[in-house]
Homo-oligomer: A and B are copies of this chain.
Amino acid sequence: MTVSRTLSGGKNVRAEVQERVKQAVATLGYHRNENARSMRPGQASGVIGVAITNLANPYYGQFALGVEEVASEYGRRIMLGNTGEDLAREVQLVSDFVGRQVEGLIVVPTGGAADHLRPERLGAIPVVLASRAVDGLDVDTVLLDDTRGAYEATKQMLDAGYRRIGFLGNVVSVSTAGRRYEGYARALVEFGLELDPSLIMRGQQDVRAAELAMETLLRLDVPPTAVFCANNRNTIGALQAIGQLQPSDDAAPALVGFDDVELAHLLRIPLLIVSHDPKDLGAHAARMLFDRLDGGMRAEPSRLVELPVGVGQLRG
């Protein structure tokens, strides 16, 4: 008891005793058992669960860092799981996190069914979805302004004179993919162009698939003069394909890349980047969660935020 009191501030413990306690703690290497601590009624665990789709993607590494830093600010630690875009794994992770008494969850959903994220399944544990929304799931969500970013970038390409603009995107079940496609398509249609299905490749989740899709576009009888890449995996795949097939820069199509990519701006390819900081996205998601947990907003209605993106200039 005296030890407990000393370690939680030392109220009502003689200074001399406190000294001896701290001494003993240091020499014995004693650590208070946080799990036992949080078992007492009303005590939170200080841990939040984070499920992301692909840690190998630098984008999500930075995202996770944003979450981690804000969590630290709020005195929390994160438990991290990688879903690999696999719904079953996401379900398993979330369930495990709940069993481990996380105070809240931050999830980049794989898309598809989402019963495991419904408030009634999670009890009092709040969730924040990040990067992607889930249809019909009414929980806090932070997205980018995907549609506007895609729209304005595509429009800029049209204004610059490009007409045959292809599209490389993520799997259709992912909300981001749909939103970015929508912006792209709207810009073309408003400009009076028709969508050409042969220029539109959707469903590439990794660099290799994106590279193959881009090769298909490059080998068309009339290849696109520009290609909209809906995420960094597709941008990198497209750049690889161009590097393979078109060593002479002149013939290469211009690219729009959603998400920034290290070194891309050094390549001799006309490139327009729609940029934003994934770390901010993670930080924002974490703040939304802690608003609920610490900010007395436990029961507020859910919020949907769309963070602004920067549409750069066509360069290179």
A-side interface residues toward B, CB under 8 Å? Answer: 29, 31-36, 38-39, 45, 47, 55-58, 60-62, 64-65, 68-69, 72, 77-82, 95-96, 98-101, 120-123, 236, 239-240, 243, 261-268, 279
Q: A33-B101, A266-B267 are in contact. List 13 more A-B contacts (CB 8 A).
A: A31-B98, A35-B36, A35-B45, A39-B39, A55-B62, A57-B61, A58-B58, A58-B61, A61-B64, A68-B80, A239-B266, A243-B266, A262-B262
CB-contact partner of A79 in B57, B77, B96, B120, under 8 A: B77
CB-contact partner of A262 in B45, B64, B261, under 8 A: B261
Complex contacts, A35 vs chain B, CB 8 Å: 35-36, 38-39, 45, 100-101
A33 and B266 contacting across the interface, CB-CB below 8 Å: no
| Minimum distance in angstroms from A165 CB to a CB of chain B | 22
B236 and A34 contacting across the interface, CB-CB below 8 Å: no
A81 and B99 contacting across the interface, CB-CB below 8 Å: no
CB-contact partner of A65 in B45, B55, B121, under 8 A: B55
B82 and A80 contacting across the interface, CB-CB below 8 Å: no
Complex Cα distance A243/B316, Å?
A: 12
Complex contacts, A121 vs chain B, CB 8 Å: 29
B99 and A31 contacting across the interface, CB-CB below 8 Å: yes
Complex Cα distance A267/B267, Å?
A: 6
| 21 A-B contacts (beta carbon < 8 Å) | A29-B120, A29-B121, A29-B123, A33-B101, A34-B100, A35-B45, A39-B39, A55-B64, A57-B61, A60-B61, A61-B64, A64-B64, A69-B82, A77-B96, A236-B263, A239-B263, A240-B263, A243-B266, A261-B262, A261-B263, A268-B268
Complex Cα distance A31/B116, Å?
A: 13
Complex contacts, A264 vs chain B, CB 8 Å: 263
Complex contacts, A279 vs chain B, CB 8 Å: 56
| Minimum distance in angstroms from A210 CB to a CB of chain B | 12
Complex contacts, A261 vs chain B, CB 8 Å: 262-263
A68 and B55 contacting across the interface, CB-CB below 8 Å: yes
B34 and A36 contacting across the interface, CB-CB below 8 Å: no
Complex contacts, A240 vs chain B, CB 8 Å: 263, 266
Complex contacts, A31 vs chain B, CB 8 Å: 95, 98-99
A99 and B33 contacting across the interface, CB-CB below 8 Å: yes
| Minimum distance in angstroms from A142 CB to a CB of chain B | 19
Complex Cα distance A56/B55, Å?
A: 11
Complex contacts, A82 vs chain B, CB 8 Å: 65, 68-69
A100 and B77 contacting across the interface, CB-CB below 8 Å: yes
Q: Which residue of B lies closest to A264 (CB)?
A: B263
| Minimum distance in angstroms from A178 CB to a CB of chain B | 26
CB-contact partner of A263 in B64, B80, B262, under 8 A: B262
Q: Which residue of B lies closest to A58 (CB)?
A: B58
Q: Which residue of B lies closest to A120 (CB)?
A: B29
Complex Cα distance A32/B173, Å?
A: 32
| Minimum distance in angstroms from A215 CB to a CB of chain B | 15
Complex contacts, A58 vs chain B, CB 8 Å: 58, 61, 262
A80 and B64 contacting across the interface, CB-CB below 8 Å: yes
